[in-house]
Structure 1
Amino acid sequence: MFKAPEPGSDFTSNLIPQAEVTAPAGASVADGRWLRVKQRLRAELGEDIFASWFARLDLDSITLGTVRMSVPTRFLKSWLQSHYAERVLATWQSEDETIKQIDIVVRSPVIRPAIAKARVAEQPAATGERRSATTTAPTAASGDAPTGSPLDPRFVFENFLVGRANTLAHAAAKQVAQARRQDAVLFNPLYIHSGVGLGKTHLLQAIAWAISAQDRKVLYLTAEKFMYGFVSALKTQTALAFKEALRGIDVLIIDDLQFLQGKSTQVEFGHTLNALVDSGRQVIVAADRPPSDLESLDDRLRSRLAGGLVVEMGALSEEIRLEILKNRVNLARTHHPGFDVPAPILTFIAETVTHNGRDLDGALNRLLAHSKLTGGPVTMDIAELAVRDLIRPQDMKRVKIEDIQRTVARHFNVSRSDMLSSRRTANVVRPRQIAMYLAKTLTLRSLPEIGRRFGGRDHTTVLHAVRKIESLADRDRTLAEEIEILKRMLVE
């Protein structure tokens, strides 16, 4: 809530009962003023900003100098209060000098219909306004189907920086987003994976925004939201309607699949995935690792995910990191005109903060806080102090079990197929045990997963091999040196 300074003001407007807040007699007058306020905001801020932040802002009531407005998400409420509250208040006051404060709340689906009756219908939004992808998703008043997870208006294709590490993922995402309903589905499912903060969610939400502007139904869900919707449907005995609603959409987007838990939930997701793919509907999935490494998922589900287009997004290059920083600084200046970061400092941050895009945001937020709170310029000393805990040691090269198997097989002059076979001759058993040991020490894979990668062996076999090699390496210096050589070959 934002209000103009006034002695004796309080927060009691939030506690006024709904019947007292809405005044049917003045509803049409209030709506006329609200329409003029929106027209002023659109003219002052531009169509893009208005469509991103104000298109879903609705007027609820005007009472005792307080304008109560509502938005569908907490994120939108927080952003409007932080960046546009003063401007909105000033615009309202230009229409009505008695307005003293504005109150932005997150609207509740329970009381929303009652509030809507007190307002006349608003005019259609101007052509080109962006609609939320969640509004085009299948929804039901009874809660049969989930509403989509919130979308960030900044996460559009126009704001996505393309580099060598994400070119293929970006191209595939654009292809899917631009496809029309009658077009054949090329990549199904499209599976994008990468570490945290490298742009997966940005790409998925960009697809959702693009598709929501077409005549196709799209639903963007996190894995957690999917689980919550399915469990809620089971509790309310509306599971059948939940399934039918999900399978009636054109594009299903699931983010953070690695968090999908529960056997029944995974089975239902697998059925939904099969139904959509088999009927020619598009499915897009993102996770922090490839399908084969999602050990908690059923083998059939992993196989189905791997059967589409699997694309990895690599680490951000220094050039992309620098462009991200420049864009963030320009965005910050729209709200904080005095904020400036010299080019050498941006280069320093791009060179040293290498882990992911979120760390870059964190670094700039600290510099912005210093600039706003102290009023002093951003210097190199300040920057080094601000980002010192974000400068991480270079990550060890990500080692794959397949690379370990090939390297060990080549080093000991045996074939990889022999290592995966059931042969138990001495010239095969020892390399196999060394490869299992390296897989356990150089990767994060579990013993059962390593066993599966070595010809479907039991986890106890892997544990025996690890302990055997550890014991031999303690006594045999030659073997220990060979293992160190193999490690260097794999991680360098």
Structure 2
Amino acid sequence: MDGAAAAPVWERVQRRLRAELGEDVYASWFRCLELAGFAPPVVTLSVPTKFLRNWIQQHYLEKILAHFARENEAIARIAVVVRVAGLRPAPPRGERPAEALRPAAEPAAQPARASETAPRAEMHAPESDGQMGSPLDKRLALTSFQVGRSNIMAHAAAMQVVQARANELPVFNPLFIHAAVGLGKTHLLQGAAQAVEATGRRVLYLTAERFMYGFVASLKAQTAIAFKETLRGIDVLVIDDAQFLAGPKVQQEFCHTLNALIDAGKQVIVAADRAPSDLEGLEERVQSRLAGGLVVEIGALDEALRIKILESRIQVAKAHLPGFEVPPDVVAHVARMITTNGRDLEGAVNRLLAHATLTGGALDIAAAEEAIRDLVRHREPRRVKIEDIQRLVANHYNVTRADILSSRRTATVVRPRQIAMFLAKSLTLRSLPEIGRRFGGRDHTTVLHAVRKIEGMLSTDQELAGEIDHLKRMLQE
């Protein structure tokens, strides 16, 4: 099959991968994936680095093959190769790190080709042996970020970073933004990074995974000093998905980088899915450093903000289909039905667009309900934090949270402490050792004893059972 005939197949596979894996995963691992050959039973794909090739082979090869097989049953194997074009010859040892992780202000020598269906994320840091800044997607600009009650403070803090003058000491440093999946923290970070770059300052946007890989690769290549110097030579460092930072050496280097940049008056922005105190995988000194600046949460999208997001996505869709119109009552109905996150709202617009394009029928509320039915789901109980459990139980039983965390063993404290441990085990995914640590550094056997004690009492003490049910409902509302 020639290239012209294979291109539509590849585009459909890309769209399905994006829909199945989500925009963040797709942007991290598939933006640089290109179709290099189409000769069933083999399809050849190319990537710019060995690291990316190995990761895709280990984690996504079967998914890619399944999507290609839907297009052509003759396809039985996917080959992933490393592109030669655009790679620079390796410089002598000792000089390579200068290319290993360049700030985003220096554009790549050979940017990725744009997709015909959607603009591809530009690579704002060139690659060298797999080390690079994470890609910045031009679609994730601050101008397209919709502001509402749940994110207005985070947006204002990001704008303060963008509007700061060169050589001006940061007001909030580090700026830590946390939010659940799909609420816009990556959009805000990427938009801020691009806006800062437009002012002429040197900015580097990295996912935690890219930071870890760059550091480990520099250790293997014995170029760690140059890696450190490169990071410390920028004006603004943006780290996304900090919850994935793992390993004592990586966290130690991350902490050193934070200290060096902050002490030098450089801005650091970090994002994660939880507040610093809830990132149990991070060492205490890293948590403390992250919490030492401004910590801002992006909350759930309220209905007014969901309508704004839908209207914004509809305007973008009109660029592909000028006659595409969604009546205001339909927009409002979709906003009421889909309450989870921005990605589901974007998916809803895609389904409405597909309905208008493929059926040609009117977009009324009934048609919209049919189009988005797979996106409508019951709201999941909110994520419960151990700190919330401790505070609620303490208030309910008229003790303090400090009492629950203390070593006091009076009956007025022991029972609430055991109930709080039981609720922590029931309502969170934390392990017994983790729960024990969050309850004043207790051993996991203490937690296990408390859980079994309350479980045994629930079958005979109806009053206690009613109290715990009440506490559970309050925590999950």
TM-score (norm 1): 0.71
Aligned partners of 2:104 and 2:125 also within 8 Å: no
Paired position in structure 2 for 1:471:
456
Paired position in structure 2 for 1:349:
334
Paired position in structure 1 for 2:378:
393
Distance 1:133 1:319, change over 3 A: farther
Paired position in structure 1 for 2:217:
232
| CA distance in structure 1 between the partners assigned to 2:354 and 2:124 by the alignment | 42
Aligned partners of 2:124 and 2:135 also within 8 Å: no
Distance 1:139 1:354, change over 3 A: closer
Aligned equivalent of 1:246, options 225, 231, 237: 231
| CA distance in structure 1 between the partners assigned to 2:321 and 2:214 by the alignment | 40
| CA distance in structure 2 between the partners assigned to 1:186 and 1:480 by the alignment | 49
**Offset of 1:404 from its aligned partner?**
2.4
Paired position in structure 1 for 2:390:
405
Paired position in structure 2 for 1:135:
107
Q: After TM superposition, list the pairs within 5 Å mapping 1:169-248 onto structure 2.
A: 169-248=154-233
Structure (1 or 2) with the larger CA radius of gyration:
1
| 1:165 and 2:150 aligned | yes
| CA distance in structure 2 between the partners assigned to 1:134 and 1:259 by the alignment | 27
Aligned partners of 2:124 and 2:136 also within 8 Å: no
Distance 1:180 1:241, change over 3 A: same
Q: After TM superposition, list the pairs within 5 Å mapping 1:209-358 onto structure 2.
A: 209-358=194-343
Q: Which amino acid aligns with 1:309?
A: L
TM-score (norm 2): 0.73
SS in 2 for 1:154: coil
SS in 1 for 2:107: helix
SS in 1 for 2:270: strand
Distance 1:132 1:371, change over 3 A: farther
Aligned partners of 2:107 and 2:126 also within 8 Å: no
SS in 2 for 1:153: coil
Paired position in structure 2 for 1:110:
87
How big is the alpha-carbon RMSD for the aligned residues of Structure 1 and Structure 2?
2.9
Identity %: 62
**Offset of 1:383 from its aligned partner?**
1.5
SS in 1 for 2:204: strand
SS in 2 for 1:375: coil
Paired position in structure 1 for 2:30:
none
| CA distance in structure 1 between the partners assigned to 2:126 and 2:330 by the alignment | 51
Aligned partners of 1:196 and 1:288 also within 8 Å: yes
Paired position in structure 1 for 2:20:
none
**Offset of 1:380 from its aligned partner?**
2.5
| CA distance in structure 1 between the partners assigned to 2:367 and 2:398 by the alignment | 55
Paired position in structure 1 for 2:67:
none
Q: Which amino acid aligns with 1:340?
A: E
Distance 1:142 1:440, change over 3 A: closer
Distance 1:225 1:406, change over 3 A: closer
Distance 1:419 1:142, change over 3 A: closer
SS in 2 for 1:284: strand
Paired position in structure 1 for 2:426:
441
SS in 2 for 1:312: strand
SS in 1 for 2:138: coil
Q: Which amino acid aligns with 2:449?
A: H
Aligned partners of 1:404 and 1:490 also within 8 Å: yes
| CA distance in structure 2 between the partners assigned to 1:134 and 1:397 by the alignment | 42
Paired position in structure 2 for 1:69:
none
Q: Deviations over 1:8-32 (max 9, x none)?
A: x9449x9xxxxxxxxxxxxxxxxxx
Q: Which amino acid aligns with 1:110?
A: L
**Offset of 1:387 from its aligned partner?**
1.5
Distance 1:10 1:139, change over 3 A: closer
Q: Which amino acid aligns with 2:228?
A: K
Q: Which amino acid aligns with 2:156?
A: A
Where does the alignment leave 5 or more consecutive residues of structure 2 unmatched? 7-47, 53-82, 91-102, 109-122
Distance 1:240 1:488, change over 3 A: same
Distance 1:225 1:393, change over 3 A: same
Q: Which amino acid aligns with 1:354?
A: T
Distance 1:132 1:335, change over 3 A: farther
**Offset of 1:376 from its aligned partner?**
2.8
Q: Which amino acid aligns with 2:107?
A: T
**Offset of 1:142 from its aligned partner?**
5.8
**Offset of 1:287 from its aligned partner?**
0.6
SS in 1 for 2:171: coil
Aligned partners of 2:203 and 2:234 also within 8 Å: yes
Aligned partners of 1:277 and 1:283 also within 8 Å: yes
SS in 2 for 1:292: helix
| CA distance in structure 1 between the partners assigned to 2:218 and 2:183 by the alignment | 33
SS in 2 for 1:388: coil
Q: Deviations over 1:192-249 (max 9, x none)?
A: 0001111101111111111111231100011111122122222222222111111111
| CA distance in structure 2 between the partners assigned to 1:142 and 1:431 by the alignment | 56
| CA distance in structure 1 between the partners assigned to 2:190 and 2:105 by the alignment | 9
Q: Which amino acid aligns with 1:400?
A: K
Aligned partners of 2:125 and 2:134 also within 8 Å: no
SS in 2 for 1:283: strand
Q: Which amino acid aligns with 1:109?
A: G
Q: Deviations over 1:38-57 (max 9, x none)?
A: xxxxxxxxxxxxxxxxxxxx
SS in 2 for 1:135: coil
**Offset of 1:491 from its aligned partner?**
3.4
SS in 1 for 2:265: coil
| CA distance in structure 2 between the partners assigned to 1:386 and 1:219 by the alignment | 40
Q: Which amino acid aligns with 2:153?
A: L
**Offset of 1:327 from its aligned partner?**
1.2
**Offset of 1:154 from its aligned partner?**
1.9
Aligned partners of 1:198 and 1:357 also within 8 Å: yes
**Offset of 1:134 from its aligned partner?**
6.0
